[in-house]
Structure 1
């Protein structure tokens, strides 16, 4: 190939035998990488005894290994060989099965960047491709047919997930990428999500993805369980029941417990300590007023202010430390900021 020589094997893709004078689609499995471009010419020589046995023209670069005797492979390669520029680029995109950068298409096809830009514009106007991501320096595109397949796959996956976990706000973004599109970079996957959001297909809530219009609806029994849980939380707001009692009130439904946290009904202040949101806000109002008047508070003083025990007071104070409302100095807490009267999770 040019002046470069490399050892390798010739794999016939569309037949079992190649006779003298015939042409065929082949794949060259070389023992070392070489620099080549589409339309480059090459010569094949036998190693021993040395003899020229054929030659050809490169129609695809990139190192993808094709399966022999596959009709879709043969037809795709023939389109790259004899098709129009638009057809050849469309086939490159189809065979990639992922978003491809304009710069990568230039390297694969031999077209200039300007020519490739014109071809992609034609394909986009014809509805054959969609732009997934534009970085300013490069452009990533995907066939419209593949985008439609992915959209259907997304809908099916999210619908099944929401039926199985009706109290969850959505499917974890990273788990979704890993399950369906692990071959995509996080940046490209995020671009796809952004596009689906713009198209009204999905909603993204933090790190979770759900179908557009997804709403969490509690059953009558779940509503009763939440009300019972809140009742026992309000009996002694600063000495709340343990996690076992909370779970028992919620029917030992971990998703319902998580729902109460996400909805701001419960606040997890420690590994095994949950307070109602109202109790956390009330506690902060009492402690903040004391700190403004006295400048510092000990655990014992906070315990007396809240009329609770050290067992509940300590994790609550440590929670306020993590929320950067207070700072521990020795055995005391001091006010770190005067931001607001309420604590949000």
Structure 2
């Protein structure tokens, strides 16, 4: 298919919606025996017509007031409205209500059909046309065609069918790369197939064998088969009416559920909205909130708790009794709890709002949505963060918004793909600085905090990759430095006070009797363990390289070690190899010391042992 269009019917009960759809498509949208028997639509009906290589889908909705709830579940994702008015009855209550609902849902295309022209005079039809023209002023139907049909005049249906071609537009790819969303409007089973769900795919793409998640039922399932108007396909792009055969039980999903490929999506109980109110409403009034194909009870929170008059545009907060799974920018409808009447509708400005007294809501824009979500991000994030799933914003737009945030200083780039809000980064940076500063005060003779300990204390929720990137950023900011495995404040130096020099002199005394003495680690530790500070001083001496570790049990003074190493290198300037005896004689020390030094040089890659000899390898 090159192009497709989803048209929803609208109009009062028994004004001929289903009859018109059948006349245009040759498909009866009334499926239930009760519907055929009573002559009214009770559940949603579906039909389609192919025009050349393009396709038009119809969602036939009930016109009876009692079934407006069902009607609302069918208008999610429609591209245009076919408003139907019977010539003999004219504009009726559900005509007005369906028309108002379409306006609130921001449907921006459509046309009008006057049916049952054979039951009215020409004067009645002309009068009805004038009334419809007045009714649609300043709406999406203003100036749109008004067709007149009759069941006994098939030629008039051809005129309507021809107009459908004009409504078809090329399929945009603008929303194709978003995480897919479909709100289920029907669930049933087919023998030999299992669970089947239908709905309009409003964003993204579904593919056969995709793993899906249903919310709020929190069901994990897989797509076994996808059909578009009875034809099996491998994938479905947003805008299509879709039927999918799922692996889950029928009881696991229900009408109103959101189907998406996004795991662990969180529901929302508080929404900030911009709305048009058709009727007078009060603060804390209980309402019926319709979003997607779902109805949830909630309450209105109004500015300064003041009521709102009819025909008013205002901001409000809606607090729901059950979670919804909405995206910023989604449309919604509100109905009075009792008596049940449509009272308004609008757009969701913040899908993750907090309780507050409404004063104002920022302009509805992609930038505003994005910045609102950023405020909730206290940890490093990437472009795939699930919090952005409620934005309905393409990957390209998210990348653009992130670049803008980096340019303005609102976002810190920890790497090419990892980011953090400036506020969250500064909060974390200050907390880490305070921790390291306190550590220095408690351990003045240490270089700083061991990297592993710092990660455990301050970055326990972070992966090693994120932790490393954060440390790099802290270094670039001249907040912290890293020495070996130690992390310390940028300009910190361990304390070299009287206690330090006292222990250093005690260590020197251990070696002064023999410049090449190999002191036991146990002796040095015993000497250092006179106090807790001495233990820290001992570590500091090692990492300042006042002493050098030869093996697990022996240490040398740094100056003596350098002398032994230099003697080795000088010897190899005139000799191809050495052995233990030669090196012992060169140093004038014991055979035991010579063996430990040679094994140490082998270990660090300075020499290589070949039988009983050593050769220089570097």
Q: TM-score range by the shorter chain?
A: 0.7 to 0.9
Distance verdict in 2 for CA 1:151–1:41, change over 3 Å: farther
Determine whether 1:144 maps to 2:411.
Answer: no
Residue from 556, 570, 579 that aligns with 1:289: 570
Q: Using the alignment, how far apart are the partners of 1:57 and 1:324 within structure 2?
A: 62
Determine whether 1:28 maps to 2:226.
Answer: no
Distance verdict in 2 for CA 1:289–1:60, change over 3 Å: closer
Q: What is residue 613 of structure 2 aligned with on the other side?
A: 332
Q: What is residue 412 of structure 2 aligned with on the other side?
A: 130
Q: Using the alignment, how far apart are the partners of 2:485 and 2:571 within structure 1?
A: 38
Q: Using the alignment, how far apart are the partners of 2:514 and 2:393 within structure 1?
A: 74
- 1:122 to partner: Cα distance: 4.4
Structure 2 unmatched ranges of 5 or more: 1-181, 188-194, 197-214, 224-236, 243-249, 271-318, 329-347, 351-364
Q: What is residue 370 of structure 2 aligned with on the other side?
A: 89
Q: What is residue 185 of structure 1 aligned with on the other side?
A: 463
Structure 1 unmatched ranges of 5 or more: 8-26, 338-345
8 A contact 1:240–1:274 mirrored in 2: yes
- 1:187 to partner: Cα distance: 2.8
Q: TM-score, normalised by structure 1?
A: 0.72
Q: What is residue 383 of structure 2 aligned with on the other side?
A: 102
Q: What is residue 514 of structure 2 aligned with on the other side?
A: 236
Distance verdict in 2 for CA 1:280–1:40, change over 3 Å: farther
8 A contact 2:183–2:258 mirrored in 1: no
Partner secondary structure for residue 400 of structure 2? helix
- 1:229 to partner: Cα distance: 1.2
Distance verdict in 2 for CA 1:111–1:82, change over 3 Å: same
Q: Using the alignment, how far apart are the partners of 2:238 and 2:424 within structure 1?
A: 25
The structure richer in strand per residue is 2
Q: Using the alignment, how far apart are the partners of 2:484 and 2:507 within structure 1?
A: 27
Distance verdict in 2 for CA 1:59–1:328, change over 3 Å: closer
Residue from 104, 108, 116 that aligns with 2:398: 116
* 1:136-183 Cα deviation digits (max 9, x unpaired): xxx332222211221122112212222222222222334323432233
- 1:101 to partner: Cα distance: 1.7
Distance verdict in 2 for CA 1:79–1:2, change over 3 Å: closer
Partner secondary structure for residue 167 of structure 1? coil
Distance verdict in 2 for CA 1:147–1:236, change over 3 Å: same
8 A contact 2:373–2:387 mirrored in 1: no
- 1:31 to partner: Cα distance: 2.0
Q: What is residue 315 of structure 1 aligned with on the other side?
A: 596
8 A contact 1:90–1:143 mirrored in 2: no
- 1:41 to partner: Cα distance: 11
Distance verdict in 2 for CA 1:295–1:38, change over 3 Å: same
Q: Using the alignment, how far apart are the partners of 1:298 and 1:78 within structure 2?
A: 78
Partner secondary structure for residue 445 of structure 2? coil
Q: What is residue 264 of structure 2 aligned with on the other side?
A: 63
Q: Using the alignment, how far apart are the partners of 1:171 and 1:67 within structure 2?
A: 41
Partner secondary structure for residue 209 of structure 1? strand
Q: Using the alignment, how far apart are the partners of 1:220 and 1:189 within structure 2?
A: 37
Residue from 521, 524, 549 that aligns with 1:246: 524
Shifted more, 280-289 versus 143-152: the winner is 280-289
- 1:94 to partner: Cα distance: 4.1
Q: Using the alignment, how far apart are the partners of 2:366 and 2:453 within structure 1?
A: 38
Determine whether 1:173 maps to 2:361.
Answer: no
Q: What is residue 442 of structure 2 aligned with on the other side?
A: 164
Q: What is residue 227 of structure 1 aligned with on the other side?
A: 505
Q: Using the alignment, how far apart are the partners of 1:91 and 1:179 within structure 2?
A: 30
Distance verdict in 2 for CA 1:336–1:33, change over 3 Å: same
Distance verdict in 2 for CA 1:59–1:333, change over 3 Å: closer
